[in-house]
Amino acid sequence: MVHMDDIVDMIERHRDFADFVFIYIHESHPTDGWVFNDIIKIKQHASLEERLDAARHLKERIPCPIYVDSMENEAMWSYAALPDRLVIVNNHIVEFIGKAGPFGFNTAAVCEWIDRHRD
């Protein structure tokens, strides 16, 4: 994942104020599809078990709970999250939806939102 260091930094900076979760969705750049110069090499998931296994590998690097999207990709479609997207949910209300990655992926915007709402 291209933004891994930014994600980890954001979580570590703001974990005292916000609860972070990561939803693992459809693989954006699988080894058997549109390959990207990514650190982690994963085939496209053919089953929920394969998606769960890929998420387990991700858990070694991300310091927050990881949830796994259904094979119907409900979270991915609901948030137009392919290849990735940052969303803030506050008291069950979606208050921030970042632009889709990779070029719109902006952890600084999430950090700014958190800083404005700390009080």
Angstrom CA distances, 90 to 18, 61, 93, stand at: 9, 25, 5
For 92-114, write each residue's pLDDT tens digit: 999 999 998 877 889 999 999 99
Q: How many structural domains are present in the chain?
A: 1
pTM metric for this prediction: 0.78
* CATH number of the domain encompassing residue 66: 3.40.30.10
Q: What is the span of the domain harbouring residue 57?
A: 4-116
Name which of 86, 10, 23, 100 is nearest 54 in CA terms: 23
Averaged confidence pLDDT in the chain: 85
